Structure 1
Amino acid sequence: MMDLSFRWPHPRYSTAIGELSFRLHTFENVYGIDPALTSVEVSADGSMVVDARGLSWAGGQATAPGTLRASITPTARGVRVEVSGEHADGIRSIGVTVHDLPTSAVSGVREDALEVPPTGRILSYPNGWFDLSSPSFIIGDALAVRSIDGQPRPKTFAFIPHFDDAAIMDVDLLVEADATHPSAAFDAPGWVIEPPRDVAAFVTEHREHIARAYPTDTWEHRSDVPEWMREKSLVLTLHGKHFTGRTFLDYSAMLDVIRQVARQIDGSRVLAYLPGWEGRYYRWYGRYDVDPALGGEEGFRRLVDESRELGVHVMPMFGANIASRDVPGFERWGEPGIVRRASGLMDAGSVDWDGSRHYDHGSGAMINPAFAPWRAHLVEQIGSLHERFGFDATFLDITAMHSNDPNGDTTEGLRSLAGDILRAIPGHLIAGEAWFDALSSIIPLVQTGHHDTVPVYHDLPDDQLFTRTNRSFGHVCLGDPAHGSSGVHEAGYVSAWRLPVRRGVIPTMGVVEDTLALAPDRVSQIISDAREYAELYLESESARTF
């Protein structure tokens, strides 16, 4: 990680959880408080108010107009910290630093505890794929930290071992102001910081806060989950055509796989997910239609119709927020809505689609779903295709993308997109890629995350935070059981091919052209997992309640 190359003598304030300092960032510079213009008020109950009527900059060598106010309030187990600030240049973020903690691993994330190396570590929220699905974590035996924000503002957590003693570290807690409402003043959402002596209570309180912030019906009672989805215990990922044009399964081969699987498990338990159904995967995002080379209109209609006769429901894949720049009309419904960072810069780069190793394919662009013309374009395509073919569900790619875009809230844009689709196709299922807490009420069914192709599960570290309202299935990069092939996905070959059987994780099988023939034993294991999932979580009324 990068850091300042000097020590800034920020004033520190002693609290029940250690020494704290404060700073604010504009889009131009970083500012601490001016100690000469700062007062401190301590109340009988231990509350402290730090009131700075001026700021410092240049590492403390200069002063500037502006204000910062920090309130530290004792709680039953620690403190609540709330900071506000003002600067004429506009506030980008406000930071709290907890000083001189023992360098310890960070737990309470979706993976195993994350070690902090001497070079430091940064975690960011929201992250749909790994690390922090919710702004809460634990630092060794030292501290538990959670945000009490009511919206998914970007938050960055930096764990910075001291250069001269890596056994001691500082921890930065930074929260960004909403870029859609730029202002010279920012009342940052608060932090609850406490020793991790009662982890169960800490986790429960955070879960209850998230439930209040993002109210969502339980999975069993969600109106956006069709009854048939509540009976699914197996997702088949049927890979179509790769970006390079290499075909894994055409529509006829997809249907043949479905027929074979439906001989081993009741088809009503199966959801067929179709990445690369529209032709070259990703290449023509924004122009969705059946691919003549995969079987055309007749082949796709037969796939959907005959799957339904077997009880199987079909879910093709669309991009929630990405399209190819050379699709006709992009200059109207795409380009003006290209995603920007809070600074106004556009994100660039891509994955490696063709083995060129340059990660710089320029065909696609990320579009903010808050941009109404993009939503209208995408919904029209999904709606017209549904009218032609009658598929049962829509998978939206990259739904967990979040950017603090000054032109529109990406999460609320996604909410609008989901609502637009459901108004166009009542009773439809919408699924998406990856998850963080604010998505709970928007997308009921999501793919697992992954970190360097290793599956990452949203029902960790707190099963109830995710599973009460949502379900997951295997990411499109899950390896197929025969080869470890990620099919149309850019990962290539992946060692993970099977998921754990847990209420929040629906068994999933990736299939390329010869998977069933070459790996019958592994295929049988996954289908056995699906039967076990149904028996444990679907077949009795008691199993259906959480």
Structure 2
Amino acid sequence: MALIDSDLSFDPRDPYFPVPGTDLRWAVQIFTTGNGYGLDAASAQPHDNGPHDNDGVRCDRLALLGQQRTSEGGADIELRRTGDHLEWSINVRHPEPVKAVKLLLTGLPASTRGGWWAANTPRGHAHGVDGQRFQLEYPGPEWATPWVAAGDLTISVRDPLVRRQILHVHQPAYASAPIAELVHAAPASNRTTTYQVPPILLRHNVSAPEADLADHMSFVDRAHRLVPWEKRTDVPEWLRDIALVVTLHGQHWTGYVLNTFPAMAEALRFITRHIDGHRVLAYLPGWEGRYYHDYPSYRPGEDLGGAAGLHALAGTARELGVRLMPMFGGHGANVAQYPDWERAVFRNDTDRYVELLNRPDWDSDRSGEGDQVFLNPGEPGFREHLVESVSAVVSEFGVDAAFFDTVGYWFNDPRHELVDGYRRLADELRRRHPGLLLAAEGWWDALSGIFPLSQQWFGVDRDLRLPQVLTRYARTTGHLAEGTPGRGSTGVHEKGFVPRPPDVERAGHIPVVGIADDTLPAHADEVAAIARWAQQHAPR
């Protein structure tokens, strides 16, 4: 992940080129596996063979950042103008493999000082107000699709693949005005010495950002084969009636049991006295034993009641009309539980070392645990393990859905393309179990095309600025770590205690209530009230 607080300690002295008729100026930087470069100012020449509205540049040499020395390499950049519509097409080359390309924009309209926002930015919020430094990264929780607006300006990256896009806006000490940087990262699995950046579109004097987003999403629909919610064939009909997700916390990493399977069954009996059972989806984190500790071994936890206990819970759920959704780790694994972990573990972008990611302090010794790694479902062996694990639980216990933890995170793995792995995983499970609901933690444009239900990222406001970026395709619900009624326990999650937010109607958002160890004994009335509220207010 790029570090927002890392920066150059000198002026890179990039040559900037004007956009005639505007105050905008632009520059390009190129990053290889060995260094960073700008265009060589002395070698940059206007395009001499393009149409009259092409204000691009051809450059046959590069310069190391700072322009002290020149380097082999070059760039062919076309800038096409159609009215208020600008489109950059950037082709670069260097003897070393290209890892990223940056388009820098300065001379931005004064209206951008009011802040930047993406389609999934919370309503009433903006990034970079009055020139404050910020960064958005796609795909990720704050940038669900690479489109952004500021004042009467919009920017769209038209990438047919899922690749890292970064928007970084700041005003360094050497600059007289803010600089907007659009960074495109080449896939680590296919780095070459020549590279073409997907088209970058900028429109100014935009009066209706919603219409511009619709144009961007039309491209995204085609690129990622997105299907509107009403026409999706991977949405079981029962999901369209779900009004409440009930998180039944099982066993914590430490071994502490928050709910046994019989206790979960009793919770469902209580809740369905206040909401129709067919409108409830029961989500089971920590059902497999010690949460995360036993990943990726997926059998019913013995301390919770074992296979017999899960069979009984599934029978109770069917009797009540409730659907069951156990949780699986989309990436997480304990190296002691999965001996073949090194074959699938995420590697850094140059394939030189293991990326150690997401190491929570599960036992509160104030240090991250040592045996947790993240594995890539793009690797065939781990993907097969997930398919067989989920398939066995579906076949044996008749569960209705499978939830995949952490799949909203994206990694530039040099060995296996991640999104292709997600698609293959989903395709095989649906082939084996037609009608099985697949859900994910987190969402972004292409991911919503694979998983029709997701958990909203924890800590991100659910009131999206332009919710159609989600609701046109999928539905979301509260995160695993949304606090339970009462003290706000986050159950098996590492967040400890977090106050439960009030229930508010949100487009495409299904309410959630968590059940920990003390929830029903001490807060049954509040749980009942939440269930009744959901029956009346949840979206269909």
| 1:418 counterpart = 2:426 | yes
The 2-side partners of 1:135 and 1:81 are apart by 15
Within a 5 Å distance, the mapping from 1:122-521 to structure 2 comes to: 122-127=135-140, 130-139=141-150, 141=151, 143-163=153-173, 168-195=177-204, 197-198=206-207, 199-327=209-337, 330-332=338-340, 334-344=341-351, 345-349=353-357, 350-359=359-368, 361-450=369-458, 454-457=459-462, 460-521=464-525
> In structure 1, the residue corresponding to 2:106 is in which secondary structure?
strand
Query: Deviation per CA, 1:413-434, whole angstroms, max 9, x where unpaired?
Result: 1111111222222221111100
The 1-side partners of 2:256 and 2:154 are apart by 49
CA contact (8 A) 1:507 1:529 kept: no
CA contact (8 A) 1:399 1:434 kept: yes
> In structure 2, the residue corresponding to 1:190 is in which secondary structure?
strand
Show the counterpart of 1:542: none
CA contact (8 A) 1:253 1:513 kept: no
CA contact (8 A) 2:210 2:466 kept: no
> In structure 2, the residue corresponding to 1:72 is in which secondary structure?
strand
Identity of matched residues, %: 32
The 2-side partners of 1:53 and 1:68 are apart by 7
AA of the residue aligned to 1:532: Q
| 1:96 counterpart = 2:100 | no
The 2-side partners of 1:44 and 1:278 are apart by 63
Query: Deviation per CA, 1:140-163, whole angstroms, max 9, x where unpaired?
Result: x26321111111110112111232
CA contact (8 A) 1:506 1:533 kept: no
Judge which range, 74-83 or 369-378, deviates more: 74-83
The 1-side partners of 2:300 and 2:451 are apart by 25
Q: What is the CA-CA distance between 1:104 and the residue it aligns to? A: 4.6
The 1-side partners of 2:234 and 2:90 are apart by 38
* Structure 2: runs of 5+ lacking an equivalent: none
The 2-side partners of 1:275 and 1:117 are apart by 43
CA contact (8 A) 1:235 1:506 kept: yes
The 1-side partners of 2:40 and 2:302 are apart by 68
CA contact (8 A) 1:77 1:195 kept: yes
The 2-side partners of 1:104 and 1:82 are apart by 28
CA contact (8 A) 2:245 2:511 kept: yes
Within a 5 Å distance, the mapping from 1:75-90 to structure 2 comes to: 75-90=82-97
> In structure 2, the residue corresponding to 1:162 is in which secondary structure?
coil
The 2-side partners of 1:9 and 1:142 are apart by 29
Q: What is the CA-CA distance between 1:259 and the residue it aligns to? A: 0.2
Q: What is the CA-CA distance between 1:69 and the residue it aligns to? A: 1.3
Query: Deviation per CA, 1:507-535, whole angstroms, max 9, x where unpaired?
Result: 1111112323433453244223321235x
> In structure 1, the residue corresponding to 2:394 is in which secondary structure?
helix
AA of the residue aligned to 1:493: F
TM-score by length of 1: 0.91
CA contact (8 A) 2:57 2:76 kept: yes
CA contact (8 A) 2:324 2:401 kept: yes
The 2-side partners of 1:373 and 1:91 are apart by 30
Q: What is the CA-CA distance between 1:206 and the residue it aligns to? A: 1.6
Q: What is the CA-CA distance between 1:251 and the residue it aligns to? A: 0.4
CA contact (8 A) 1:481 1:515 kept: yes
The 2-side partners of 1:155 and 1:378 are apart by 29
Query: Deviation per CA, 1:379-432, whole angstroms, max 9, x where unpaired?
Result: 112212222211111111111121111111111111111112222222211111
Q: What is the CA-CA distance between 1:192 and the residue it aligns to? A: 1.0
TM-score by length of 2: 0.92
Task: Report the CA distance shift for 1:164/1:118 in structure 2 as closer, same or farther (over 3 A).
Answer: farther
> In structure 1, the residue corresponding to 2:30 is in which secondary structure?
strand
> In structure 2, the residue corresponding to 1:180 is in which secondary structure?
helix
The 2-side partners of 1:135 and 1:175 are apart by 11
Judge which range, 434-443 or 192-201, deviates more: 192-201
| 1:110 counterpart = 2:121 | yes
The 2-side partners of 1:496 and 1:75 are apart by 50
Judge which range, 510-519 or 259-268, deviates more: 510-519
The 1-side partners of 2:296 and 2:172 are apart by 49
The 2-side partners of 1:25 and 1:44 are apart by 29
AA of the residue aligned to 2:390: I
Query: Deviation per CA, 1:253-281, whole angstroms, max 9, x where unpaired?
Result: 10000000111111000000000111111
Show the counterpart of 1:39: 45
2:35 to 29, 32, 36: 29
AA of the residue aligned to 1:124: E
CA contact (8 A) 2:155 2:203 kept: yes
Query: Deviation per CA, 1:450-474, whole angstroms, max 9, x where unpaired?
Result: 2xxx2433x7232222111101111
Task: Report the CA distance shift for 1:30/1:69 in structure 2 as closer, same or farther (over 3 A).
Answer: same
> In structure 1, the residue corresponding to 2:66 is in which secondary structure?
helix
> In structure 1, the residue corresponding to 2:156 is in which secondary structure?
strand
AA of the residue aligned to 2:197: A
Judge which range, 243-252 or 206-215, deviates more: 206-215
The 1-side partners of 2:498 and 2:121 are apart by 20
AA of the residue aligned to 2:15: P
Show the counterpart of 2:6: 2
Q: CA RMSD of the aligned region, Å?
A: 2.0
The 2-side partners of 1:405 and 1:117 are apart by 36
The 2-side partners of 1:483 and 1:189 are apart by 49
Task: Report the CA distance shift for 1:20/1:58 in structure 2 as closer, same or farther (over 3 A).
Answer: closer
Q: What is the CA-CA distance between 1:113 and the residue it aligns to? A: 1.1
Judge which range, 512-521 or 12-21, deviates more: 512-521
> In structure 2, the residue corresponding to 1:204 is in which secondary structure?
helix
CA contact (8 A) 1:160 1:170 kept: yes
CA contact (8 A) 1:474 1:499 kept: no
2:61 to 54, 63, 70: 54
Task: Report the CA distance shift for 1:315/1:52 in structure 2 as closer, same or farther (over 3 A).
Answer: same
